[in-house]
Amino acid sequence: MGCMRYLSEAHLRGFERYKYSSIDTSFLSVYVMHPFWNYCVKFVPKWLAPNVLTFVGFLMTVVNFILIAYYDWGFEAANSETGNTVPAWVWTVAAINILIYYNLDGMDGKQARRTGTSGPLGELFDHGLDSYSAALIPIYLFSLFGTHDLPPIRMFFVIWNVFLNFYLTHVEKYNTGVMFLPWGYDFTMWGVSGMLFVATVFGPEMYRFSIYGFTMANMFEFVLIGSGMVSSHPIIARNIYLSYKNKTGKMRPMWEMLRPFFAFVWLFVITVVWSFFSRNDVINKEPRILWILYGTIFSNIACRLIVAQMSDTRCDAFNVLMWPLAATVGVCCFPYYQQVFDSDLTSDTERWILYGLTIFSTLAHWHYGYGVVSEMCDHFHIRCFKITKQTVAAEEELQDVVEDAKPTENVEEV
C-alpha cells in the first residue's frame, strides 16, 4: 500500500484484544436457519477459507445489480402499459442469488470456527461487504414498482431507511460491545427473495396493484419503514440505555456515544440538498448512479465505524469522501450560478460530474477496503482467501491473548 496506511497501532492493538460477542433472539434464525447452516457447512471443504464464502455471497448481490440494471437502468420498465419489460427469468436469478448471499453470509462464521480461523479480519470483511450490499439490495426492488408508483425522491428515503437500520446496529455495538443481531435481517432476506420469486410466477405487474389510491409501493414503504421503527430502533435504544444503567457497555461520555451519528447525519444532509435542489433535477435523470454514489460513501462511513468498534478506538466524526461530495453539491446546487458564471450548469455537465465523483468515490472506497484487509493480514501473518498453517497459528496466538483478557460482560457467542 506504499506510504498510505489506514490502521494505526492503536487499531491493531485493539484488534488483538478483540473478541466477537453477539446475541441472537430471532426465532427464525435460532431454530431454523442456524441448524440449517450447521448442516450445510459440513459439505464445505475444510481447505476453503471462510472469506471466500463471504466474498462469493457479496458477488451475488453485485451480479443482481448489474443484471437488473442492464434491463432497467432508469427504473422505468414497470411503467410500461403492456407490463414490466424485464424478462421473467431475471427475477428468478435475482431471487436465487439473494438466497445464496444470505446463506453464505450465515455459513461463513461457522466455517471459520470449523477450520479454526475465527478472527477479527473475518468479521470486518463480512460486515464491511454487508454495508455495501445494504445499498445494492433495495435497488432491485425499485424495478418492480417503477418511477410512476415509486418516484426517485421516495426511493431516496427508502434507501436511507435501510442505511439507518444497518448503521444503528453498529452504533449499538460501538457503545455496548455486543452485536445484538436484529430480527428484521432474516425476514428481510426471505421477503426480498419472495418478492422476486412472486414476480416470476405471477408477473411483476401485480406490484402495480392499488386500492383506493394505496399502491403496492406504498405498502412496501410502510412495511419497510414501520418494521424498523417497531422491531429495531426502540430495542437498540433500550440496549444502549441498559448498558449504561448496568455499567456493562463501553461507558462513553454522552458526546462520544453520539459521535458515530455525526458523519451519518452530515451525509444525509448533503445528499438531501443535492436530491432536492439540483439545478438539473439529477435525482430524476440519473437515480441509479446517485444511489450507488450515496451507498458507496455510506459503506465507507460504516466500515470506518466497524473498524473503530472492533478496535475499541474513537470513530470518525466526518468522512473524507464527503469533502468532494460537499464541493460537488455546492457547485450543482449553487442558486446564482448563471449570474456569476454567465451560463447555467447544463444537464450533461452535472451528469458527468456525478459519473466522475461516483468513479472516484468507488475507487477510493475499494482502496480503503483493500488497504485495511492487507494491513490486518500483514499484522496477523494470515491470508485473506487462503487457509495456511500460519493462519491457524495466528488464530491460536490471538485466542491466547483473548483468554488472558478479562471479559467485560457475559454474552452468548453465536
Long-range contacts formed by 69-72: CB under 8 A, 24+ apart: 69/288, 71/143, 72/143
- 159 in Cβ contact with 294 (< 8 Å): yes
Rounded Cα gap, residues 132 and 343, in angstroms: 38
pLDDT cut 70: percent of the chain above it: 93
The mean per-residue pLDDT over the stretch 279-286 comes to 94
Cell of 167: 448503521
Mean pLDDT computed over every residue of the chain: 89
Residue whose cell numbers read 394505496:
214
Give residue-wise pLDDT tens across range 146-182.
Answer: 999 999 999 999 999 999 999 999 999 999 999 988 8
CB neighbourhood size of 54 (10 A): 28
Q: Tell me the chain's radius of gyration from C-alpha atoms.
A: 22
Q: Please state, in angstroms and rounded to a whole number, the distance separating the CA atoms of residues 1 and 385.
A: 18
pLDDT tens sequence across 361-401? 999 999 999 999 999 999 999 999 998 765 555 555 545 44
Using CA atoms, how far residue 302 sits from 58, 157, 164, 210, 224, in Å, is: 16, 18, 10, 37, 21
* Distance, CA of 248 to chain centre: 27
How far apart CA 40 and CA 58 sit, in angstroms, is 19
Residues 6+ apart with CB under 8 A from 396: 116
The grid coordinates of residue 168 equal 444503528
| C-alpha span between 28 and 236 (Å, rounded) | 19
pLDDT in tens, 43-72: 999 999 999 999 999 999 999 999 999 999
Whose cell is 464464502? That residue is: 53
Dihedral through CA 261, CA 266, CA 269, CA 271, nearest 10? -110
